[in-house]
Structure 1
Amino acid sequence: MSTIILLFFSAILSILLLTSIANYTRAKRLIFLLRNASQAHDLVTRSLKLSGGTFVFKIPFTHCLITSDPQNAHHVFSKRHSDFPKGPEFKDILEALGEGIFNSDGEFGLSQRRILHSLFNSPPFERVLMTTLRRKLESGLLPVLDRAASAAAEEVIDLQDVFKRFMFDSICTTVLGFDPNYLTVDLLPDLPYAEAYDDMEEAVFYRHIMPEFWWKLQRWLRVGEERKLHEAWEKFDGFLYERVKLKRQSFNRKTEHKETEHGEFDLLTAFMRAAEDGEEEGGEIRELGKSDKLMRDTAFNLIAAGRDTVTVTLVWLLWLVASNPEVEKKILEEIKANLGGNRWRFFGVEELNKLVYLHGAVCEALRLYPPVPFEHRTAAETETLPSGHTVRKNGRVLFSIYSMGRMEEIWGGDWMVFRPERWLSPDGSKNVHIPSYKFMTFAAGPRACLGKKITFVHAKQVASAVLCNYKVEVVEGHRVSPAVSIVLFMKDGLNVRVSRRK
Structure 2
Amino acid sequence: MLGRERPEYIAMVKHAPDSLPLLGNAIQFLKPRHVLFDWFVKCQQKFGRETFEISVPSLPPGVVINSPEVLEYVLKNEAAITKGEFFRDRSWDLFGYGIINASGELWRAQRKAGLKFFSGTNLDIMIEEVLPEIYHESTRASLSQAAEGRSVVDLQKIFHDLTTTVVGHMAYDMEIDATSPFSKAFDHASSQIGLRFQNPLYSITEFFTGSSFRASLREVKRFGRQIVSEARKRRAQEAFESLITNTDEEETELMQQRQQPENNEGSGLGFGTLIDSLIEALGNPKIVADAALNFLSAGRDTTAQSLTWTFYALLRHPEALKRVREEIDLKFDVKPSDKQSFSSSAMTNSDSDEEDVNINVSDLQPTNLPYTMAVFYESLRLYPPVPFEIKQTTQPVTLPDGTSLPAGAVVVWCIWALNRSFSTFGEDAQSFRPERWLEVPSPASHVDSETDSDTHVNTAAHKPSLRFTGSKHSVGEFPVFNGGPRSCLGKKMAELMGAWTLMRMLREWEFEEVNDGLNMDSSSGERRSANSLTLPMEGGLPVRVTRRRRRV
TM-score range, shorter chain: 0.7 to 0.9
Q: Write the letter of the residue equivalent to 1:93.
A: R
State the Cα deviation string for residues 349-375 of structure 1 (Å, max 9, x = none): 100011111111111011100101011
Q: Write the letter of the residue equivalent to 2:322.
A: K
1:349-428 equivalences in 2 (<5 Å): 349-353=361-365, 354-427=368-441, 428=465
Asked if structure 2 preserves the Cα contact closer than 8 Å seen for 1:358 and 1:460, the reply is yes
Closer/same/farther in 2, CA of residues 61 and 242 from structure 1, 3 Å limit: same
State the Cα deviation string for residues 67-110 of structure 1 (Å, max 9, x = none): 222111111112x3321111122222221212221111123212
CA apart distance, 1:42:
1.2
Task: Find out whether 1:175 has 2:176 as its counterpart.
Answer: no
CA apart distance, 1:130:
4.3
Q: Write the letter of the residue equivalent to 1:200.
A: A
Task: Find out whether 1:71 has 2:69 as its counterpart.
Answer: yes
**Distance between the aligned counterparts of 1:449 and 1:475, measured in 2?**
34
**Distance between the aligned counterparts of 2:155 and 2:71, measured in 1?**
34
Q: Which residue of 2 aligns with 1:450?
A: 489
Q: Which residue of 2 aligns with 1:272?
A: 279
**Distance between the aligned counterparts of 1:312 and 1:370, measured in 2?**
9
Q: Which residue of 1 aligns with 2:544?
A: 497
Give the % identical residues.
Answer: 26
Task: Find out whether 1:51 has 2:98 as its counterpart.
Answer: no
CA apart distance, 1:158:
1.4
**Distance between the aligned counterparts of 1:138 and 1:350, measured in 2?**
21
Q: CA RMSD in A?
A: 2.2
1:132-147 equivalences in 2 (<5 Å): 132-147=130-145
Q: Secondary structure at the match of 1:499?
A: strand
**Distance between the aligned counterparts of 2:277 and 2:395, measured in 1?**
38
Asked if structure 1 preserves the Cα contact closer than 8 Å seen for 2:147 and 2:546, the reply is yes
State the Cα deviation string for residues 36-65 of structure 1 (Å, max 9, x = none): 344211111112221334321112112421
**Distance between the aligned counterparts of 1:205 and 1:227, measured in 2?**
17
Q: Which residue of 2 aligns with 1:201?
A: 190
**The 10-residue stretch of structure 1 (350-359 or 421-430) with the greater mean CA deviation from structure 2:** 421-430
Q: Which residue of 2 aligns with 1:232?
A: 216
Q: Which residue of 2 aligns with 1:429?
A: 466
Aligned equivalent of 2:231, options 214, 236, 247: 247
CA apart distance, 1:180:
2.8
**Distance between the aligned counterparts of 2:161 and 2:487, measured in 1?**
27
Asked if structure 2 preserves the Cα contact closer than 8 Å seen for 1:366 and 1:441, the reply is yes
**Bigger-Rg structure (1/2):** 2
- Aligned residues, how many? 446
CA apart distance, 1:141:
0.9
Q: Which residue of 2 aligns with 1:113?
A: 111
Q: Secondary structure at the match of 1:27?
A: coil
TM-score with structure 2 length normalisation? 0.76
**Distance between the aligned counterparts of 2:360 and 2:539, measured in 1?**
34
Q: Write the letter of the residue equivalent to 2:506.
A: L
**Distance between the aligned counterparts of 1:227 and 1:126, measured in 2?**
44
**Distance between the aligned counterparts of 2:505 and 2:383, measured in 1?**
20
CA apart distance, 1:195:
0.5
Aligned equivalent of 1:484, options 531, 538, 546: 531
Task: Find out whether 1:311 has 2:358 as its counterpart.
Answer: no
Q: Write the letter of the residue equivalent to 2:118.
A: F
Q: Write the letter of the residue equivalent to 1:201.
A: S
Q: Which residue of 1 aligns with 2:317?
A: 324
Q: Which residue of 2 aligns with 1:283?
A: none
**Distance between the aligned counterparts of 1:56 and 1:143, measured in 2?**
52
Q: Which residue of 2 aligns with 1:3?
A: none
Q: Secondary structure at the match of 1:123?
A: helix
Asked if structure 1 preserves the Cα contact closer than 8 Å seen for 2:113 and 2:277, the reply is no
**Distance between the aligned counterparts of 1:404 and 1:346, measured in 2?**
39
Asked if structure 1 preserves the Cα contact closer than 8 Å seen for 2:127 and 2:496, the reply is no
1:208-227 equivalences in 2 (<5 Å): 208-211=197-200, 214-219=201-206, 221=207, 223-224=208-209, 226-227=210-211
CA apart distance, 1:27:
3.2
**The 10-residue stretch of structure 1 (226-235 or 486-495) with the greater mean CA deviation from structure 2:** 226-235
Asked if structure 2 preserves the Cα contact closer than 8 Å seen for 1:308 and 1:487, the reply is yes
Higher helix share: 1
Q: Which residue of 2 aligns with 1:191?
A: 180
Closer/same/farther in 2, CA of residues 453 and 122 from structure 1, 3 Å limit: closer
State the Cα deviation string for residues 236-285 of structure 1 (Å, max 9, x = none): 22122122112112223415889xxxxx9422123323x2xxxxxxxxxx
Asked if structure 2 preserves the Cα contact closer than 8 Å seen for 1:128 and 1:265, the reply is no
Q: Secondary structure at the match of 1:149?
A: helix
Q: Secondary structure at the match of 2:543?
A: strand
**Distance between the aligned counterparts of 1:181 and 1:71, measured in 2?**
42
Closer/same/farther in 2, CA of residues 149 and 346 from structure 1, 3 Å limit: farther
Aligned equivalent of 1:347, options 339, 354, 359: 359
1:159-170 equivalences in 2 (<5 Å): 159-170=155-166
**Distance between the aligned counterparts of 1:25 and 1:346, measured in 2?**
63
Asked if structure 2 preserves the Cα contact closer than 8 Å seen for 1:391 and 1:397, the reply is no
**Distance between the aligned counterparts of 2:73 and 2:430, measured in 1?**
27
CA apart distance, 1:155:
1.1
Q: Secondary structure at the match of 2:30?
A: helix
**Distance between the aligned counterparts of 1:357 and 1:385, measured in 2?**
37
CA apart distance, 1:398:
0.8
Closer/same/farther in 2, CA of residues 37 and 368 from structure 1, 3 Å limit: closer
Q: Secondary structure at the match of 1:82?
A: coil
Q: Which residue of 2 aligns with 1:333?
A: 326
Closer/same/farther in 2, CA of residues 379 and 357 from structure 1, 3 Å limit: same
Task: Find out whether 1:469 has 2:508 as its counterpart.
Answer: yes
Q: Secondary structure at the match of 2:55?
A: strand
Of structures 1 and 2, the one scoring higher in RCO (CA 8 A, sep 6+) is 2
Unaligned runs of 5+ in 1: 1-22, 183-189, 259-263, 276-288
Q: Write the letter of the residue equivalent to 2:542.
A: N
